[in-house]
Every structure is written in C-alpha cells, then in structure tokens.
Amino acid sequence: MTAVKDNKYLTTREVAAFLNINEKMVYSLVNEKGLPATKVTGKWLFPRRLVEEWLETHVLNYQRTGIERSSNDGILLMAGSDDLLLQRVLSLYYKKGLGTVFFANLGSMGGLKSLRMGLCHIGTCHLLQDDNAEYNFDFAKEELDRAPVFVNFSKREQGILLQKGNPKGIHSIADLAKKGVKIVNRQLGTGTRLLLDYEIARSDISSSLIDGYQREVARHLDAGIEVLAGRADAAPAIRAVAGLLDLDFLPLRWERYDLLIARERFFEKGIQDFIGLLHEKEFRDIAASYTGYDISLCGKMLFPDNLRTQE
C-alpha cells in the first residue's frame, strides 16, 4: 500500500493511495462494502483508524492457478464486462468455425483479476479513470504485473434506462432518490456500477436514499428487463438496451470498452482470429443494427501515453 500522511482523517485521494486503488473505486467501497466515511460540506472524509480496521476484516488470500491451454487449441476464454454487441461476436466466432468461446460475466474488475491470475485469454473492461477522460490504463497498471495489449472493441453510451415516457420524471441522478422511484443496480466491480457510484458521489444525494440500490442484476439486458416489466423505474445500463427494448434513456457519457490481452498470448491464432472478425463487414453490419455504439476505433491497438492508434 502507498504511504500517506498520518492524519486522523483521510481525503478520498489519500484513502485511495492508502488502499492502492483508483479513486472512483473508493465510492463503490463506501456504498457497497461499508468503507467507513462521512460527508462534510460535500466532501468525503475517512477516519484513518476505522479504515485500517475495515481493511483488516476484508483480507482475502488468492491462489494463482493459471491456465496452460493456448487459444490455438480452438478454445478462447474471455472474462469481464457484459456487452450486447460482444455476445453477437462470440456467436459469430463460433458460426465461422473459428473455435469455441467461453465468456465469464464477472464485471470489469473481475476481468482484470482473471487476467492477472491467468484464468482467461482476454479481459473486457470499461473502467473510468480519475482524469474523467481515459479508461482502463491506470486500472490495469494497478492490477497487473505487466501491461497488457489494449485493443478497442467499441465506444458505448452509458446512462440510465427509464420506463417508456419517463412517467416518474427522472431527469438527473438526484431524481433517483425521489419518493416513489425504485431502481435496480449492477454489481460491485462493474464499470457501470463504478460510474453510477461516481455520479452519486458528485450529487447532493447518497446511495442510502435510493430505493433498490442494493438490488443487483448481472447483465445490462437484465437491468432493461426489470425496467420493461415495471419492477424498476430506472437502471444504469448502455443505450443499446434502451434501443432494443424501446425504453427511454438518460445519457451520462460515452465510454471506451476495451479488450485486454496478455502480451505473451497476443499473437495466438485464436486471439488474432477474434480480432480479425472486428474488421469484417458482417460484424460492422451487426454493430450498425444497434443504437449507442461507435466502432470507429474498433479492432485498433491503444496506447496510454497519448492515445495513438494503429491498425
């Protein structure tokens, strides 16, 4: 962990340094895992002694097992963030006889951890960094021993799914705390949840005021079905779900959704076949059938220093 000043109370930046995590993950830990905190004049403060005690009660030991199977063997293993367009590509990969893909829907942080433990060939992530502009690079640096290869899959529009006609008049994050409004949430460790927690932290409300905040679903489509069925008035998800289910949508921001690949595996046939699909017309036609996607960077390698792209 990074050393911080011996203050009685820590700021968000200081507690992030103390826990060696991204600042935005701090908001999720407050909301979901009970990281001790108080909000004073709009700013979060963390009692150092209580943070240390909280950390001691959340220690887990992970055993690195790893996988020996190469994607050259016809089986491609992926883990991370859920995506509608990605699921279509997985089917296309199999349809073309390129092999079989197994995808574990673990959220962006789960994808990073799986990549670190050697349990997948490709991790999928969309984690907003503290600069509010870049994605994934800093998180990968914190989580992985060696920087992976970053390949863009798409840009996606993130926001809040709303019932058709927006009968509850939800026009901002603060409106999620209005009386009579119920939401369904995504699980901790997903980029969508991280973004929602960040937006809540920036607002004048707290997650404790939001009915349904603790009720979680595993996929964007599951969130949309809850809203469509009337079991929730709102849910964080991508615009593509709103288009698919004919729901209203409150936009928050466009994000970058990337494929993270271990450098030593990048040139394996299974991985190169998968990336090759992203340049084919059939994939481009599928992407065009959805709303809320931008594939202008799709299939291109990304570099953290200055976001140069190359084929």
**Is residue 5 pLDDT above 60, yes or no?**
no
Residue 63 pLDDT grade (very low, low, confident, very high; cuts 50, 70, 90): very low
Q: Are the C-beta atoms of 207 and 200 separated by less than 8 Å?
A: yes
Judge whether 184 and 223 are in contact, CB under 8 Å: yes
Q: What is the pLDDT of residue 59?
A: 59
For 101-148, the DSSP string reads: EEEEE-HHHHHHHHHHTT--SEEEE-PBPTTSS-BSHHHHHHH-SS--
Please determine, for residue 306, whether its predicted confidence score (pLDDT) is greater than 50. Answer: no
Selected residue with higher pLDDT from 230 and 21: 230
286-303 confidence digits (pLDDT tens): 999 999 999 999 999 999
Give the model's pLDDT for residue 309: 42
Residue 311 has pLDDT above 50, yes or no: no
Phi-psi region of 263 (alpha: psi -120 to 50; beta: other; left: phi over 0): alpha
In 3-state terms, what secondary structure has residue 26?
Answer: helix
Determine the pLDDT at residue 289: 97
* Domains parsed from the chain with CATH numbers: 9-56 (1.10.1660.10), 71-156+255-310 (3.40.190.10), 158-252 (3.40.190.10)
Smallest CA-to-CA distance from 160 within 241, 59, 49, 222 is with: 241
Mean pLDDT of 81-94: 96
pLDDT tens per residue across span 264-279: 899 999 999 999 999 9
Cβ contacts of 53 within 8 Å, gap of 6 or more:
none
* Per-residue pLDDT, 299: 96
